[in-house]
Amino acid sequence: MSAPFRKMIDAAVFCAVIAACAQLVLPMPAGVPMTLQTLAVALCGYCLRWKYALAAVGTYLLLGGIGLPIFSGFGGGFGWLFGPSGGFLLGFLLIAIGCGLSLKKRILSLVMGMVGLLLCHCCGVVWYAYITHQSLWQAVLVASLPYLWKDLLCVWLAELIANKIGIFKKRY
């Protein structure tokens, strides 16, 4: 099997993993559910190069956007992308790129993943504030801070898993 074909299969598998992790939902009062999608997206980025990680996450967003019930709580449709959590969903692309750009040094790969995560939260907060007509500070307090500790842990755990299965040794 050729390498590009294998990478496309890997991207499809990660798209399915992200969809499965979206169904592990802890509802939150702000309307942005707590899920394990961040772990799946970060792991996707660390295991695939950024282009294939971007393809996996982009496919997930496209399939959910056209109505397949793969967003949290078996939701689907473009309304999800334009709802309160839409900025975070689109921000997953930034996590995938950050983790997918991981460098030869593990600490740098972790930093890149964290940068992608923080950019994702910035997009999510700005969009949430816009949609809910709240101040940016209120949006940070309601839609970012309650999730940030879990998301930081997810990116760190994804990097740890990728290292344990030897992804960084295989990629370089």
3-state secondary structure of 20: helix
What confidence score (pLDDT) does residue 108 get?
86
Is the pTM higher than 0.95? The answer reads: no
Contact 172, 104 (CB under 8 A): yes
Would you give per-residue pLDDT tens digits along the chain (172 residues)?
A: 788 888 899 999 999 999 999 998 888 777 677 899 999 999 999 999 899 999 999 999 999 999 999 999 899 999 999 999 999 999 999 999 999 987 667 788 899 999 999 999 999 999 999 999 999 999 999 999 999 999 999 999 999 999 888 776 555 4
Task: Please name every residue paired with 16 in a beta bridge, in sequence order, or none if there are none.
Answer: none
**Which distant-in-sequence residues (6+ apart) come within 8 Å of 83 by Cβ?**
31, 131
- Would you list the domain boundaries of the chain? 3-164
Distance between alpha carbon 109 and the CA centroid of its chain, in Å? 16
- Nearest 5°: the CA angle 131, 149, 71 is 50
Q: How far apart are CA 166 and CA 95, in angstroms?
A: 20
What confidence score (pLDDT) does residue 22 get?
95
Q: How far apart are CA 76 and CA 86, in angstroms?
A: 12
Structurally, at CATH architecture level, domain 3-164 sits in Orthogonal Bundle (1.10)
3-state secondary structure of 121: helix
Contact 85, 124 (CB under 8 A): yes
